[in-house]
Amino acid sequence: MEKSRPAKGTVDKIVDKVVDAVSDGGPSNEIPGRPGREPAPLEEPTEPRAPLPPKPDQAGPEVFTATGRLTDVPPTAWAQGGEYLTTAQGLRLTDTDHSLKAGPRGPVLLQDHHLREKIMHFDHERIPERVVHARGAAAHGVFRAYGTATTVTRAAFLAKDVETPVFVRFSTVLGSRGSADTVRDTRGFATKFYTGEGVFDLVGNNIPVFFIQDAIKFPDVIHAGKPHPDREIPQAQSAHDTFWDFVSLHTEATHHTLWNMSDRGIARSFRMMEGFGVHTFRLVDAKGATTLVKFHWKPKAGVHSLTWEEAQLINGMDPDFHRRDLADAIEAGAYPQWELGIQTFPDTPEQTFQGIDLLDPTKIVPEELAPVQPIGLLTLNANPVNFFAETEQVAFHPGHLVPGIDITDDPLLAGRLFSYLDTQITRLGGPNFAQIPINRPHAPINDMLRDGFHQDAVHSGVAPYKPNSLDGGCPFFAGQSEGGYRETPVRVPAAEKVREAPASYADHFSQPRLFWLSLTPVEREHVIAAYTFELGKVYEQAIKERALRTLAEIDSYLCEQVAQGLGLPAPKPVNSLPSVEPSPALSQLGRTWPTTGRIIGIVADDGSDLETVRTLRQAILDGGMVPLVIAPAGGMLGADGGDPVTVQRTFATARSVEFDALLLAGTPAPGKDAYGARDAKAGNGVTGTPTDPRVLLMLAEAFRHAKPLGGWADAEQALTAAGIDTAAPGVLVAESGDAALEEIVRLLGRHRVWDRFPPAVGIA
């Protein structure tokens, strides 16, 4: 356990930093989202001063040397210093607005070094985006181990109460770096643990299975999912011919595809996603005994999704929805948390568990068969200071392991072990990417790797080779007691060299059927809708027909309903459908969760009961949620003479999809801009309507997205005008604002009011 001490020291520093940040006016009662450290003055400041420190919610990487030693240098030293503008060489500058010219109207002079340097650097600001998972957002945090894993692993960072700094990057898979967040896709969930024994990366997804069973197919599935190579459309989505062409011909993709078509493909928030290591890993205890495991991240906030219409609207309204949500939650002090858990299986020569092949990454082990045992708690508590330096430059690798954690022979994992090193060479410009601050281990580095582009270490000595006598024989081998990593001596079965998969890999449909049967009726409705939407976007009839053949092997109702939507006959299954035991743990519904970080919109105008709005606003903040006041115009509401209420959204700028629930402080009168020529959302205009038509649209959308709706005073008038039955589930006009809020928060704990929309009779 000794080995983890350095990491603990580092964590304390981070924790202290967070505490300082809080006492420094950090995460507070404010609405998150202020761009700079200080409010911007109206006039440009002219008095020289030192650069402002990062915002209280932010933390950069700890200052380690390129060789992994912690320094006394403060993290702000990664940043710009001094109060004056300089060149990259430190020369102070007097002007950056004008090129050096031969007279005000004369030609620009080549001798202008500042001009050349500025333009040269700008020309090279971009690096290649990740070939997959290009779009992402990240945060710093701390992992605290419960110690429960020590029975199966000697990994020092998993010993009781050891705290390890982490950096976690979430991502979509298919889209480019600038694509929208809420597309239907798998999400990456990659965690870098800076342990005292070196970096451990758990590079997982929010879906526990993968499209392919062998890494050699990865370029195929990604080429199929990416935009068509001729027109480069569509961006960041699977609703197109090449994707469905591939997955309908390559049926091992069926399980993962079904998860994507379920609500898991459109997460409400990164904070509300599960994470999975996907492959089976091998843990090794202090005596060398081994256990096979699957890693799971369980979000404290529960697993929640958007509705498909909501997701599509958000992609236009706020393409940065997920990254904003993560950053805002952290800034507001609603730190996202996950428990890390493991399913454990005996390490038998067959590497199967109750007939499930543990080396097949298209299979799960239902939690009912092997419960997920919690082994530690992850808390994300700081936003990065600089997106490029941290989120873009971070380099994960599933082969970054520590003693006590080893890999298995999953052929998908084998290819990844090659790919993640290889890809960084182009993306991060050479072999020294481990020296980039965010990638630096928090353990001493003595690697004999030398030179190369962007070498940050100034290595001493003359003998970067082994054995040597010239550098005192240094560095030396570590025995196991010194923390040396030893690959587990697993017996490899005698076999012939072949390009073949094991026979069990041929079962492509039993687990998709298990997943389908584990979903509640409303979740199944969403799956049917998703397949119908995606296949409806496919041009080629043959591909749709082929995809239906796959669905027939999962479930006849699913197949018939999608076929009906596509206007095609439903094929019969070729094989008899396997009888499987559903796994209720796979459903997202039916439980109650904390509501921290949820966004409640309060619709009000100057005529509303502002005293109650103030009280509710504070109660929402006190409950760790975010209240956003929506009014006819920006600025303040305060006609009642009390403290002004700041308006965060206007009827023109707000859209229902920004809020998890809505509260109506009465019925707001039409705003001055509530006419179609100015704001299309106002429709035909307002003549004769007592309620702003944009509010009616907002209510109607929120209603059909099954969101809780509440109000007091004359709120009923607006709800009725929006065509909403106030007796419908999850709609509440209360005597008082307090009562309305209480009910809204209770409903939010279940995420949505699905009983508002009964599913089809035949679906259960």
- Catalytic residues, by residue number, are 133, 205
Rg (CA), the chain: 28
Q: 413 or 600: whose CB is closer to ligand HDE? A: 413
Which residue has the CB atom at the shortest distance from ligand HDE? 188
Q: Determine the interface stretch with ligand HDE among 13-21, 388-396, 460-468, 527-535 (rule: CB under 6 A).
A: 388-396
CB of 506 to ligand HDE, least distance (A): 19
Instruction: With contacts defined by CB under 6 A, name the span among 127-135, 337-345, 375-383, 431-439 that binds ligand HDE.
Output: 127-135
Site string for ligand HDE, 201-230 (x = CB under 6 A): --xxx----x----x--x------------
Instruction: Mark the segment that binds ligand HDE (CB under 6 A) among 28-36, 177-185, 419-427, 756-764.
Output: 419-427
**Binding pattern for the stretch 336-355 against ligand HDE, x by CB under 6 A and - elsewhere:** --------------------
End-to-end CA distance of the chain: 52
User: Rounded distance, CA 196 to CA 678, Å?
Assistant: 60
Q: Which residues, 553 to 612, sit near ligand HDE by CB under 6 A?
A: none
Cα separation of 118 and 436, whole Å?
Answer: 23
70: exposed, middle or buried (Cβ count in 10 Å: 0-12, 13-18, 19+)? middle
Among 26, 61, 136, 627, binds ligand HDE (CB under 6 A): 136
Minimum CB separation from ligand HDE for residue 654, in Å?
32
Residue 188 interacting with ligand HDE (CB under 6 A): yes
**205 vs 185: CA distance, rounded Å:** 11
Residue 465 CA to residue 262 CA, distance in Å, equals: 53
Q: Is the peptide bond before 234 cis (omega within 30 degrees of 0)?
A: yes
Task: Give the whole-angstrom CA distance, residue 548 versus residue 620.
Answer: 47
- Tell me the window of 227-235, 391-399, 492-500, 668-676 that interacts with ligand HDE (CB under 6 A): 391-399
Q: Which of 1, 63, 70, 131 binds ligand HDE (CB under 6 A)?
A: 131
The site for ligand HDE, by CB under 6 A, has a size of 25
Q: Which of 149, 190, 253, 548 lies at the binding interface for ligand HDE (CB under 6 A)?
A: 190
* Shortest CB 400 distance to ligand HDE, Å: 11
Q: Candidates 78, 321, 338, 396: give the one binding ligand HDE (CB under 6 A).
A: 396
In the block, residue with structure tokens 């702000």: 76
Select 418 or 476, whichever has its Cβ closest to ligand HDE: 418
- Bridge partner residues of 292 (DSSP): 282, 345
Position among 130, 140, 322, 508 found at the interface with ligand HDE (CB under 6 A): 130
Q: In this structure, what token pair is assigned to residue 250?
A: 């390559």
State in angstroms the smallest separation of the CB of 255 from ligand HDE. Answer: 13
∠ Cα 750 516 169 (to 5°) = 60
Among 419, 432, 511, 667, binds ligand HDE (CB under 6 A): 419
Closer to ligand HDE by CB, 133 or 546: give it: 133
Is 310 in a helix, a strand, or coil?
helix
* Cβ–Cβ < 8 Å for 631, 684: no
Q: ω into residue 208 within 30 of 0, thus cis?
A: no
Q: Hey, what are 474's tokens?
A: 């240094």
Joined tokens for residue 152: 């199966």
Q: To the nearest whole angstrom, how small is the minimum distance from the Cβ of residue 126 to ligand HDE?
A: 16
CB of 438 to ligand HDE, least distance (A): 11
Which CB, 146 or 276, lies closer to ligand HDE?
276
Q: Which residues have C-beta within 8 Å of that of residue 395, sequence separation ≥ 6?
A: 420, 424, 427, 428, 433, 434, 436, 439
Nearer to ligand HDE, 169 or 756 (CB): 169
DSSP, residue by residue, 609-667: -HHHHHHHHHHHHHTT-EEEEEESSSSEE-TTSSSPEEP-EETTT--GGG-SEEEEES-
Work out which of 420, 485, 533, 675 binds ligand HDE, going by CB under 6 A: 420
Select 203 or 358, whichever has its Cβ closest to ligand HDE.
203
Counting contacts by CB under 6 A, is residue 171 touching ligand HDE? yes
CA pseudo-torsion sign 617, 622, 623, 626? positive
Classify the C-alpha dihedral 327-389-233-261 as positive or negative. negative
Stretches 197-205, 252-260, 366-374, 636-644: which one binds ligand HDE (CB under 6 A)?
Answer: 197-205
Tell me whether residue 398 or residue 512 sits nearer to ligand HDE (CB atom).
398
Phi, psi of 463 (to 5 degrees): -125, 70
Q: How many CB atoms lie within 10 A of CB 731?
A: 24
| Closer by beta carbon to ligand HDE, 436 or else 733 | 436
* Full DSSP string of 74-121: -GGGGS--SSS-B-TT--B-S-SSS--BSSTTSPBPTT-HHHHHHHHH
Question: Which C-beta is closer to ligand HDE: that of 188 or that of 668?
Answer: 188
Question: Which residues in 259-288 contact ligand HDE (CB under 6 A)?
Answer: 278
Q: Site residues (CB under 6 A) for ligand HDE?
A: 130-133, 136, 169, 171, 188, 190, 203-205, 210, 215, 218, 278, 394-396, 412, 415-416, 419-420, 423
